[in-house]
């Protein structure tokens, strides 16, 4: 393991992780109107979901400052262990060994339950996209999309780990598994949601379950 990993606060805060979903469809994505935004065409099925660049930002929230002289000099101090991408974007991107060694702590027992959110927390974003399409269209009345309904039903799944601390890989693998279960039941502009793919943490009290938050 790289020495730079030893200066991270551990266990890692689950909401400080960063990664993106890669969603493979049975059909090619389509543009939403004349925007650069994409959507899944109706009937397209999800063939696979993976994640890439599981990382954490280099800042005082994530670095044990008792082990670092100066956060501003952190990159300079560890530059021999960091990739060009890590230096450029100020992130530590975990390799396979680190994913299997570093731990995340979000619960008091070796169990976590994920549930699909029922709140329309992206409805205003959809309205903005539709408005942008209509603004650029010459025929406003022809721009119509199905009603917003990101999740069609409540789904829950519980994951049990061997220890109180799950590794980063175990934690993200559980999220991938849950997305494979629930993502096919989403509806975003007439197809499954491939727009909200940026992990923004989980929220909940741990009693009923955690919602996984996705940004775009």
pLDDT in tens, 128-166: 555 555 555 554 444 444 444 455 567 888 898 887 788
User: Quick one: pLDDT at residue 138?
Assistant: 52
pLDDT in tens, 176-212: 999 999 899 888 888 999 988 999 999 886 677 888 8
Using CB atoms within 10 Å of the CB of residue 68, give its burial: 0 to 12 exposed, 13 to 18 middle, 19+ buried: middle
What are φ and ψ of residue 74, in 5° steps?
-60, -50
d(CA 58, CA 75): 9
Give the pLDDT band (50/70/90) at residue 36: confident
What are φ and ψ of residue 137, in 5° steps?
-90, 145
* Distant-in-sequence, close-in-space partners of 189: CB < 8 Å, separation ≥ 6: 32, 39, 126, 129, 145, 146, 195
Q: Residue 47 above 90 pLDDT?
A: yes
Q: What is the DSSP string of 128-147?
A: HHHHHHHHH-S-GGG---PP
If you average pLDDT over every residue of the chain, what do you get? 83
Residue closest to 151 by CA, chosen among 120, 174, 197, 194: 120
Place of tokens 């309904």: 149
* For residues 58-62, average pLDDT: 92
Please answer whether residues 151 and 116 qualify as being in contact, where contact means their C-beta atoms are separated by less than 8 angstroms: yes
């Amino acid at each position: 393991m790289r020495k730079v990993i030893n200066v991270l606060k551990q266990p890692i805060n689950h909401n400080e992780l960063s990664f993106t979903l890669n969603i493979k469809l049975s059909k090619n994505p389509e543009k939403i109107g004349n925007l650069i935004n994409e959507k899944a065409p109706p009937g397209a099925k999800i063939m696979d979901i993976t994640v890439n660049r599981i990382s954490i930002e280099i800042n005082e929230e994530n670095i044990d400052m008792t082990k670092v002289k100066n956060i501003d000099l952190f990159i300079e101090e560890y530059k021999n262990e960091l990739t060009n991408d890590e230096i450029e974007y100020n992130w530590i991107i975990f390799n396979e060994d680190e994913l299997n060694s570093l731990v995340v702590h979000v619960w008091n027992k070796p169990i976590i339950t994920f549930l699909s959110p029922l709140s329309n927390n992206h409805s205003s974003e959809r309205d903005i996209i539709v408005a942008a399409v209509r603004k650029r269209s010459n025929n406003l009345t022809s721009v119509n999309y199905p009603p917003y309904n990101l999740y069609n039903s409540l789904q829950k799944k519980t994951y049990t780990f061997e220890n109180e601390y799950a590794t980063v890989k175990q934690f993200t693998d559980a999220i991938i598994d849950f997305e494979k279960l629930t993502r096919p039941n989403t509806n975003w502009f007439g197809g499954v949601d491939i727009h909200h793919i940026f992990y923004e943490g989980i929220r909940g009290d741990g009693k009923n379950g955690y919602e996984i938050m996705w940004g775009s």
